[in-house]
Structure 1
Amino acid sequence: MKKLILVSALLFSSTLQYPVKATAQTKPPATTKQPVQPVKKTPVPKKEASRPVFVPPKPPTGLSTVSGRRSGMGSRNDCPVVETPLTALVPFQERVATSKQTNTSTSVDVWGLTTSERPMFWFYFPYTNMSAEFVLQDSEENEIYKNQNIALTAKSGVIGISIPSTVAPLQVGKTYRWFFKISCNQQQITSVPIHVEGDIQRVNLNPILEQQLEEATDPQQKIAIYAANGIWFDALTMLGQLRLANSNDASLAADWQSLLQSIKLENIAVFPLIN
């Protein structure tokens, strides 16, 4: 009888302890995490094409020893006084020479590179209803091209002078001298015209630059590439022709301002282009 009571007591005690152990071993349900909301990325604005900036190249061999002239300063031969003088849209560099007597003199190299067989030359003229003359010579002063009857319109501005297809193409590696002259008093045969002058040299594109130009799909990209590689006349002509065809394009106007500012002619950028 005592054994029966003892077994019953043990069974009853184990029944009371089991739920406690089971409860202690059961883990609480895991907390359900809220789904993370995807972060919306702010779209990165497309970078605008860089404005063209001219980077001067190393001066080529064969530049004229005669000082160039980018501005036709002064008033002579009855030319009216103007605030902004006749100006060639070409880069310039000062050249300082020292003689044996330690005297120094400063001349100006007015020059630019081109890849074109017959490049276009650009000038700002402040006078109206007059005629001008353009001359192109080789390094031996032989006349390659001459136009004495360039009619200036009733409105001042920037003009481009092209070389006709009848003129022999410029040769690669050779330097040519150009002149642009205006005579305000054409009745005087001996009058000295207001003029500007400088050099131009034709070069070939290197393979890397040629590939960059081929891959550029936008004309404004090509202009910036030409300018960054020191090929002035190609950059200016391409941009000038685009502006003549799209006179109200603000982006082209900004490019024009940037390109001329890079050669310190930002004052010319405000004047209209004359077709």
Structure 2
Amino acid sequence: RSPPTSPIEPNATLRKIRSIPLQPRMSRHFHLHLLRLTTLLLLTTPQISTIAAPLKYVPDPTFSVLSRKGTPKDITYGGGKRSICLTRANPERGLRAIVPTEDVGGLSATTKPTFWIYQPYISQTPLAGVLSVRVADSYRSQPFIKVPVTLPAQTGLVRLQLPRSIDRPGMLAWTLTIVCDEISLSRNPFVSGLVMVKPNPELLQRVAGLSQSERAVEFARAGYWYDALDLVATTEGEIGVQRLMESDRELRIEN
């Protein structure tokens, strides 16, 4: 006797599953349309660059001439004086004004320029200092700005902001003195730099819509050291400062 016939064949379900199309076949026309759409997206989508904009500091010719002819020869700018009452964290790194290698200064587009220094000393408490600005044509000229400042106890870059605007034309000298000996002032370390305020409305308008890195590039190209420095130091720290300093050195070597 033959066995009873099953109402469902054993492989019927499997055959039905296999017969269900997983995805519809794409026509040649659809493939062509998809290719055109992809190409359009690639052409219209803004590309994000991962390469940093080239930063090249170009000294202003007027400033370079003035800094060579009008600077007193008995004043040290840029490096400053070594301290005998403070200890460095690294003997190889001293107190330093962040200024160009040769002209030791540059232009500022704002009447309240920002200065940067490197603070190298070890201290248990914040350091007391004095920031002063005077006319750079005479060693004996008295500061017309002289304000106390407080420096952090840890080593690193320090931003120095003037409390009021500079209303003097021409070459100016700024000096930061760290007061570690109130009795023997000659023991106090200091650094100096040069600055010339030169408002440039056209440049400020041109950089208004740019990113901070793009603005730094434009300021550096125009000779505005302090404006470019403030941007790169604020956004990139020592890496940005090193980039700006190296661009100045490279430009001097190339010329």
TM-score normalised to the size of structure 2?
0.65
Distance in 2 between residues matched to 1:169 and 1:183, nearest whole Å: 24
Classify the secondary structure of the residue corresponding to 2:59. coil
SS at 1:137 equivalent: strand
Query: Which residue number corresponds to residue 228 of structure 2?
Result: 235
Structure 1 portions without partners, runs of 5+:
1-33, 94-108, 244-250, 265-275
Sequence identity (%): 21
Q: 1:154 to 1:262 in 2, by over 3 A?
A: same
The 1:190–1:259 alpha-carbon spacing in structure 2 relative to 1, beyond 3 Å, is: closer
Give the structure with the larger helix fraction: 2
What residue in structure 1 maps to residue 105 of structure 2? 111
Deviation at 1:131, TM superposition (A): 1.7
Q: What is the distance in 1 between the residues matched to 2:78 and 2:248?
A: 11
Contact 1:182/1:194, CA 8 A, preserved across alignment: yes
Does residue 192 of structure 2 align to residue 177 of structure 1?
Answer: no
SS at match of 1:161: strand
Q: Partner residue of 1:54?
A: 57
* Distance in 2, Cα, partners of 1:257 & 1:110: 15
Counterpart-to-counterpart distance in 2, 1:220 and 1:190: 41
Residue 200 of structure 2 corresponds to residue 201 of structure 1: no
Number of aligned residue pairs: give it. Answer: 200
Decide whether aligned partners of structure 1 residues 205 and 72 sit closer, same or farther in structure 2, where only a CA change above 3 A counts.
same
What are the ranges of 5 or more consecutive residues in structure 2 without an aligned counterpart?
1-27, 250-255
Q: State the shift of 1:46 in Å.
A: 4.1
Displacement after TM superposition at 1:74 (Å): 3.9
Distance (whole Å) between structure 1 residues aligned to residue 52 and residue 87 of structure 2: 42
- Preserved contact between residue 81 and residue 191 of structure 2 (Cα < 8 Å): no
Partner of 1:162: 161
C-alpha deviations, 1:117-150, integer Å up to 9, x for none?
Answer: 1111111111233322211112452321112x32
Q: Name the Cα RMSD after superposition.
A: 3.1
Task: Pick one of 124, 131, 134 that aligns with 1:134.
Answer: 131
3-state SS of paired residue (2:116): strand
Does 2:93 align with 1:84? yes
Q: Distance in 1 between matches of 2:226 and 2:189?
A: 23
CA 1:188/1:257 → structure 2, altered by over 3 Å: closer, same or farther? same
Distance 2:240 2:112 in 1: 24
Q: Deviations over 1:211-231 (max 9, x none)?
A: 5324x3322211111012110
CA distance in 1, matches of 2:93, 2:173: 24
Secondary structure of the equivalent of 1:150? Answer: strand
**3-state SS in 1 of match to 2:149:** strand
Distance in 1, matches of 2:245 and 2:132, equals 24
Q: Distance in 1 between matches of 2:109 and 2:215?
A: 13
Please give the alpha-carbon distance, in whole angstroms, between the structure 2 residues aligned to 1:235 and 1:219.
9
Cα deviation, residue 254, structure 1:
5.5
The answer to whether the aligner puts 1:65 opposite 2:72 as a matched pair is yes
Give the letter aligned to residue 56 of structure 2.
V
Counterpart residue number, 2:118: 124
Structure whose alpha-carbon radius of gyration is higher? 1
Q: Indicate which of 206, 217, 241 corresponds to 1:212.
A: 206
- CA distance in 2 between counterparts of 1:253 and 1:133 reads 23
Secondary structure of 1:154's match?
coil
Cα 1:210–1:116 shift into 2, 3 Å? closer
